[in-house]
Amino acid sequence: MDKTPTYGIPYLEPSDFVADAPAASKSIAQGVEDALKIVDARTTPEGIAPVIALNPQVLGNQSGSMGQIGFVQSPSTGPNGGFGAYISDGSKWTALMDVTRRDLWWATQYKVLTWTKKADTNDVVSVSGIRLGAMLFIRVYWQNNGAFNKDAFVKVPIANIGNDLSSEECMFPCAENTGADRAGTGFLGINGHEIFWCHTDGSKNDIPEKMWHQGLIIAKSGN
């Protein structure tokens, strides 16, 4: 006897003996029964809703239909892989990403940014951010201590991010209190490793002292 590829229902082949027909019929009937049980289990709310558990051991004690998703809430180094998503084959739960692979993914795809100040010594600068996959998410706050004057699109260096991270040049509008006549003209940007500020109103701008500029930069990492 052989079995169907999807549900494993047995069927007779020419080489099977007639004397084995009763046992073969029973095996076929049992195979159909098992396949119907799988189909029935998938049509119930319990059979399709994710099974949530505190740890892998608790999840392992829960029944699941074939293809059902489970999720372990708490970090763990249990035998089934700990925190994360699981899938059931009808008899056991298997982690979709085990602890080692998950930690390796985070180690290669997630990084907290380091930075160094480039603005004037007395300026207030705060930079925080992460790299996640190929993207950089950087929050920047800068308060210029002294007044200054700059033409449009002339970059004022604020900070450098770590040498292992960089980005193609891009700019984003920033919030600032430089005055209503200049509202919306200030931009924060990044080019390579350098985070900078510039304005875009087409003329030389006088920026008073103690003005703040802050915003979020989202850029594609060059590393």
- Stronger pLDDT, 28 or 158, i.e. the higher one: 158
Tell me what pLDDT residue 128 has.
Answer: 92
Per-residue pLDDT, 124:
96
Beta-bridged to residue 129, according to DSSP, are 138
pLDDT at res. 214: 93
Residue 31 has a pLDDT of 66
Q: Each residue of 82-119: pLDDT tens digit?
A: 777 888 888 898 888 665 566 667 777 788 889 999 99
Say what the pLDDT of residue 47 is: 57
Break the chain into its structural domains and give their ranges.
2-103, 113-220
- Residue whose pair of structure tokens reads 């739960």 in the numeric block: 93
In a 13 Å sphere around the CA of 30, the CA atoms on its Cβ side amount to 6
pTM: 0.55
Q: Give the CATH number of domain 113-220.
A: 2.60.40
CB 85 within 8 A of CB 96: yes
CA-CA-CA-CA dihedral for 136, 102, 59, 46, to nearest 10: 50
Predicted local confidence at residue 157, as pLDDT? 95
Place of tokens 């201590």: 145
